[in-house]
Amino acid sequence: MELKEITTPSYVIDEKKLRENLELLSDVQEKSGCRILLAQKAFSAFSEYPLIGRYLAGATASGLYEARLSSEEMGKENHIFSPAYRESEIEEIASICDHVIFNSFSQLAKYADTVKGIQEKRGITDGIGLRINPEFSTQDEPIYDPCAPGSRLGITIENFRKGVKEYSGEFSLVSGLHFHTLCEQGFEPLRKTFDAVEDKFGEYLALPQIKWINMGGGHHITKPDYDREGLIELIQRIKCTYSKPCNGCVNIDVYLEPGEAVALNAGYLVTEVMDIVENDIKILVLDASAACHMPDVLEMPYRPPLRDSGPAGEKKYTYRLSSCTCLAGDVIGDYSFDEEIHVGDRLVFEDMAIYSMVKNNTFNGIGLPSIYAMDESGECRPVKEFGYEDFKMRLS
């Protein structure tokens, strides 16, 4: 099936783009010696996990469900971070996760023995980590800045020092440190952030017990202008500086866990124009919705790229793109086109693989888009369809 023949609305995963991203990431792994994990919260299209698993070291999760998904569908390294874990879930988590990262010394104290006991039976001896907060902001959006004042994410150096004293027994079980502070950023912010991490936490990184460091996600590694050479050099320097004897060899593992970068520009949302109404401006009513199918458009907010279009007024015909919901603000943006648009035409939103399928919803009783995969030759195959039951199932 060709792209123009699929049902709408549909997400289409572009496997060629995905593979190209994975090749870039795999090249960074090979040259630097780091290990890269898919952050599933950005992209959990598990039908592609076998492909992703051929290139990356594994996946990371924000909770039990994502951890189960990668355990079932990828079966490689499986990591988890959550601000807090449920007592009823921690044993299952420890039995399927290779790294369990805690956000506080109180969570560490509560669960470290349980996790260690279960992981040791699986032959894992370095599976417990702590998330640190270097308190070094590199962006202006507080909603995406874990270093913003008052953030719950990660342990500040002041609390870390206290924790190491107060919980010295539990701290001796910690084998790694994790930080995640970036969002859609280049290499320079990472370099500066790592300087801050070293400045504050360097003495802990140097401890013999610390066998790995995880530098989180938010790295736009697969963007054409990303300084991958810089990244590779930084990782090599970290490995040299903080290496220590470990099982007879000398090393420290460096992890990255990008979400966006894995599936950047590797998917589309295809929609059909259902009606055109006029109120000062011509408004397209689409069968896709910002609120339901691309919530980041309203949440971030941002204007998604649309194939063969320009900003309002640039091309001959300008329209406001909107949806079938009752939410007045469910507007995607104003776009212009060379040709007049008609009812029944199809529009293709770009870069719709990430933070789309994982965030969609059935608000207004709007159906979920189908999922297609487009292979290297451009052939589209249906992966999943949704219907009324998917709407009803979540309600009572």
Ligand X SMILES: *Cc1c(COP(=O)(O)O)cnc(C)c1O
Do 243 and 250 touch, CB atoms closer than 8 A? yes
By CB under 6 A, tell whether 81 contacts ligand X.
yes
Q: How far apart are CA 98 and CA 329, in angstroms?
A: 43
By CB under 6 A, tell whether 216 contacts ligand X.
yes
The vertex-248 CA angle with 160 and 201, nearest 5°, equals 15
Q: How far is the CB of 358 from ligand X (least distance, A)?
A: 10
Among 218, 267, 295, 369, binds ligand X (CB under 6 A): 218
By CB under 6 A, tell whether 41 contacts ligand X.
yes
By CB under 6 A, tell whether 154 contacts ligand X.
no
Q: How far is the CB of 259 from ligand X (least distance, A)?
A: 3
Among 58, 217, 304, 367, binds ligand X (CB under 6 A): 217
In the DSSP assignment, the letter for residue 212 is E
By CB under 6 A, tell whether 67 contacts ligand X.
no
Using CB atoms within 10 Å of the CB of residue 318, give its burial: 0 to 12 exposed, 13 to 18 middle, 19+ buried.
middle
By CB under 6 A, tell whether 129 contacts ligand X.
no
Which residue, 129 or 258, is less far from ligand X as judged by CB?
258
Tokens of 239: 């490995």
Which residue, 53 or 258, is less far from ligand X as judged by CB?
258
Q: Contacts with ligand X in 224-263 (CB under 6 A)?
A: 257-261
By CB under 6 A, tell whether 267 contacts ligand X.
no
Q: Which residues of 30-67 are buried (b: 16+ CB within 10 A; e: fewer)?
A: eebbbbbbbbbbbbbbbebbebbbebbbbbbbebbebb
Q: How far is the CB of 237 from ligand X (least distance, A)?
A: 22
By CB under 6 A, tell whether 42 contacts ligand X.
yes
Which residue, 216 or 367, is less far from ligand X as judged by CB?
216
Which residue, 255 or 372, is less far from ligand X as judged by CB?
255
Q: How far is the CB of 182 from ligand X (least distance, A)?
A: 7
- As beta bridge partners, residue 60 has 39, 79
Which residue, 259 or 333, is less far from ligand X as judged by CB?
259
Which range touches ligand X (CB under 6 A), out of 37-45, 71-79, 278-286, 377-385? 37-45
| Sign of the C-alpha dihedral computed for residues 20, 26, 30 and 31 taken in this order | positive
- For residue 121, count other CB atoms closer than 10 A to its CB: 10
> For residue 30, what are the CA distances in angstroms to 17, 21, 332?
20, 14, 40
- As beta bridge partners, residue 371 has 11, 384
Which residues would be at the binding site for ligand X (CB under 6 A)?
39, 41-42, 81, 180, 183, 216-218, 257-261
